[in-house]
Chain A
Amino acid sequence: MTTLPLPNNQATTADDILKTAESLRWEVGRDFHERLMEDVYTEAAQLADRAVTYPQQKPRFDLDRTIDRIVTSRLWGFPMMILLFTLVFWITISGANVPSGWLATLLVDMGHPFLKGLADGIGLPWWLSGLLIDGIYLAAAWVTSVMLPPMAIFFPLFTLLEDFGYLPRVAFNLDNMFKKSGAHGKQALSMMMGFGCNAAGVVATRVIDSPRERLIAIITNNFALCNGRWPTQILIATLFIGSTVPAYLAGLVSALAVVSVALLGVMLSFAVSWGLSRTVLKGEVSTFSLELPPYRPPRVWQTIYTSMIDRTLFVLWRALVFAVPAGAVIWLVANVQIGGLSLAEYIINFLNPLGLLLGLNGVILLAYIVAIPANEIVIPTILMLTVLVTGSAGGSGAGVMFELDSNAETMALFTAGGWTLLTAVNLMLFSLIHNPCSTTIYTIYKETGSRKWTAVAALLPVAMGFLITFLVAHSGLF
């Protein structure tokens, strides 16, 4: 096509072209980009089809494609996702109880008295043995017995799914919804990482090129329920939600409750992304190609080994590092007395009105303050503080974190502390919707380099958590 030289070159200017383009953009519609891509894909498919001959005339049965058709289908994609994750949590919840009990017996029931005896034997002063053994040692022992078994089950299962090639399919399923929320489709990937650890998820947002969409991904990553919060969810769901149904359904219902909270987190991710992209972080959505890798039979032993080393022990180590000083702090606030009342009681009494207004209590709020360094120690802290407040005989006294022998006793303790189903539900909600842990906050600061956005990322979820728990508390549902 030879172009005809047009006489009036001066008539058209660059601005004119751009203005025309801008107005035509309204006519071609919002899905222009997708249609363009679709045209390219259709044509490529036709060309490839004409040029390539497969070994048999009939295209072979393709297992990968068949699986993909099911797990990424509009109809079955989401149910399959929920089913798979429920199965994973169900295996985790029902499988972790027994080894958790063994560890608790070993480390707490036997280890703690043994160390106490040892300390008495060498004549340590009460405050030193209290701080070291009742505070630090017990915090570490508790974290180990509660966290190690679920992690040792959950992480290999999750890694197997990842190795098999399922996670990119999840990202594929979620992509469209992220796009509708005005966020980048790759946010699905960083969110997946966030389910392991939010700090890792925040770093993973580096795959997103546009700064606007990356900020959205960073701010909303906290809504991916991280590993440190799974134990809280699992325990509270088992105690309160599981007990509302017959025993044979308890495991399944608890697992479903945990999955619901995780899904709520995903929904909140969408909602907040949507809100941000329409207010402070306006802009166009970018498109990306996601290659779905072939399904591979996972190498089971290697996966179990690497997920134990890289994830389970890594996370456990981090939890211990933070639990140790926290254990000391807890012991101190529970034992430093001013005018007959411990420091902890002063704080709890101060926080109680706000806590009750939110359908929680002062103990939970204080636990969340103590647990800013690591979400992992929320539950032990809550238990210890509840003992302190109720003066219950179940534990070993002020400031001693302990493992109760059975769920029934833990439940009795909570009931004595004035807990209801509402407290449990709101604790699960608040555990999902509150500020990120200090490691994540620091990572956000390093990644964004902005104090303002770090503050937004830290404070927005707390504000939302207060709002949502308040609404639930006053909804009249419980």
Chain B
Amino acid sequence: MSQEKKPLPTIPLTYAGSNCEGCPAHNAGQLLRLGVNMENWDFVIALAGNPNTGKSTVFNALTGLRQHTGNWPGKTVTRAEGGFSYGEHRYKIVDLPGTYSLLSTSLDEEVARDFILFGQPDVTLIVVDATRLERNLNLVLQVLQITDRAVVCLNLMDEAERHGLKVDERRLARDLGVPVVPTAARYRRGFDQLLAAIADVATGRTVCKPRHMKSESGTIRQAVERLTDKLHQLYPQLPNARWVALRLLDGDQRIATAVQNGELGELSRQTPDDVQTLHLEAVA
């Protein structure tokens, strides 16, 4: 894959020239909220996160919509969509149901998981609660097993500050291998950097190198390796074979079906050719 590109896991703070045009803050004026108008989008953003992390606030701030979502996991099983334009690109953003995990298969988790996997968003924006980082990272780690195009929005920084918490976002970005942007969505703080990070990952200017879980006992590792090998034989380009192997071992019917009917094969064909290279060329 695109490993030879130099990884830029943290927020790119300076750009060539480092003048006003280069400053991410300068681009803030370029945000155009398009509401439900999602025509001619260049990139698709999936919005994932635990319930109650301010996901909808981020969604509303970006699109200008007033999406109301309930707090109960399982109640919101549909997804809301909206659009915005930033810089020279137009984005479609899909608000997924808030979930704690992507492992078990309740309806809400399945909707979120399927979109991240099969919907192939250009960027998955994971909104996390800075005051409950540990619990939120469970989901982040799971998302990063499925896709490597992700941005972490470290939200509720205002609350974290109030509680006297300090979150070292650079360290976190280095550990996770994806951009991490601190925000306070309620006060629109940090949105300039967030938009810049999203644009950079979407266009391929930032190449993520997400952390992959290491691990587990010998038997599991061997089983995973055997399956991963087989998957690679059938679908040589599959980007997340290891994750697929884990799902199969867990008895995930949906994934088994996708292996069977070739749905996964289509993913692997599409990823390198159609989508990714195009964006990489744009940068190069």
Give residues in A with beta carbon < 8 Å to B: 1-3, 5-6, 8-9, 11-18, 20-21, 24-25, 27-29, 32-33, 35-37, 39-41, 43-45, 47-55, 207, 209, 284, 286-289, 291
Contact = CB atoms under 8 A, between A and B. Distances in A.
Given A12-B230, A37-B101, A48-B137, 17 more contacts: A6-B233, A9-B233, A13-B234, A32-B220, A32-B249, A32-B250, A33-B250, A35-B220, A44-B134, A44-B135, A44-B140, A47-B176, A51-B133, A207-B74, A209-B105, A209-B106, A288-B104
Contacts of B73: 289
B172 A17 contact: no
Interface residues of B, number: 58
B175 A51 contact: yes
Q: Is the interface of B mostly helix, strand, loop or mixed?
A: helix
A33 B1 CA distance: 29
By Cβ-Cβ distance, the 4 closest A-B pairs, closest first, are A55-B164, A44-B137, A48-B134, A21-B248
Interface stretch (B13-21, B112-120, B211-219): B211-219
12 contacts: A14-B261, A14-B262, A18-B248, A36-B103, A36-B246, A44-B134, A47-B172, A50-B168, A286-B104, A287-B104, A289-B100, A291-B100
Interface string B131-153: 00111111011100000000000
B29 interface: no
Given A2-B1, A28-B220, A37 B103 contact: yes
Nearest to B261: A14
Contact of A17 (B137, B220, B227): B227
Interface in B60-101: 73-74, 100-101
Interface string B249-264: 1110000100111100
B226 interface: yes
Contacts, number: 148
A116 B248 CA distance: 75
Contacts of B168: 50-53
A182 to B, nearest CB: 15
A14 B234 contact: yes
Contacts of A16: 230
Contacts of A52: 133, 165-168
Nearest to B106: A209
Contact of B101 (A1, A3, A289): A289
A161 B248 CA distance: 42
Given A24-B226, A32-B250, A3 B164 contact: no
B233 A12 contact: yes
Contacts of A17: 227, 230-231, 234, 248, 259
A50 B174 CA distance: 11
A51 B157 CA distance: 14
